[in-house]
């Protein structure tokens, strides 16, 4: 389709969002990500049946932890779309990037030079 999405987005491919565990999400932030989003299949369409539900629950749990420790949960989000929905993917990345720009760099990245393009 050759749609554009923001070059600030780094994609990590998993066979199913159900394989993402809490540690991966926390590590992403600890290692400097300003924002993280999990893109799972549409609910009901998971090839492994409930992988995306597991992901949703884990994302919510990590959001809760991030709120409790004072980091804030707005930098983490879960979205659902099918692999065929190119335009939706571009939309999501733009939405998320917009949100993160608004929030500024991660509080763990204060004082670091960043590419805020």
Partner 1 sequence: MIIAMQKPINDVAAMVKDYQKVLLLGCAGCVTVCLSGGEKETEVMAAALRIKRRLEENPMTTVTYTATRQCDPEYIEALDNLVKEADAIISLACGVGVQYVAERYKDKWVVPALNTNFIGGSTLHGIWEERCGLCGDCVLHMTGGICPIIRCAKSILNGPCGGSQYGNCELGKDIPCAWQLIYDRMKGLGKLDLMKKFIPVKDWSMARDGGPRKARREDVIIG
Q: Which is nearer to partner 1, 62 or 92 (CB)?
A: 62
Question: What is the smallest separation between the CB atom of 44 and partner 1, expressed in angstroms?
Answer: 20
How many residues of this chain bind partner 1 (CB under 8 A)? Answer: 15
Number of Cβ within 10 Å of residue 2's Cβ equals 4
Q: Which is nearer to partner 1, 47 or 57 (CB)?
A: 57
Q: Which is nearer to partner 1, 28 or 92 (CB)?
A: 28
SS3 of the chain: the string is CCCCCCCCCCCCCCCCHHHCCHHHHHHHHHCCCCCEEEEECCCCCCCCCCHHHHHHHHHHHHHHHHHHCCCCCCCEEEEECCCCCHHHHHHHHHHHHHHHHHHCCCHHHCCCCCCCC
Binding of residue 30 to partner 1 (CB under 8 A): yes
Considering only residues 75 to 114 of the shown chain, the ones binding partner 1 according to CB under 8 A are 107-108
x-or-dash string of contact with partner 1, 38-77, rule CB under 8 A: ---------------------------xx-xxxx------
- The whole-angstrom separation of Cα 17 and Cα 50 is 10
In the complex, which residues of this chain contact partner 1 (CB under 8 A)? 21-23, 26-27, 29-30, 65-66, 68-71, 107-108
């Amino acid at each position: 389709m050759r749609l554009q999405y923001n070059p600030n987005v780094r994609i990590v491919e998993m066979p199913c969002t159900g394989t993402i565990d809490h540690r991966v999400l926390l590590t992403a932030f600890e290692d400097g990500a300003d924002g993280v989003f999990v893109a799972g299949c549409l609910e009901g369409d998971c090839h492994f049946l409930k992988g995306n539900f597991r992901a949703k629950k884990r994302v919510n749990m990590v959001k809760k932890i991030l709120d409790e420790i004072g980091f804030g949960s707005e930098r983490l989000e879960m979205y659902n779309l099918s692999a065929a929905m190119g335009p939706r993917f571009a939309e999501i990345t733009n939405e998320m990037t917009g949100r993160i720009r608004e929030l500024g760099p991660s509080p763990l990245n204060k004082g670091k030079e960043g590419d805020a393009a």
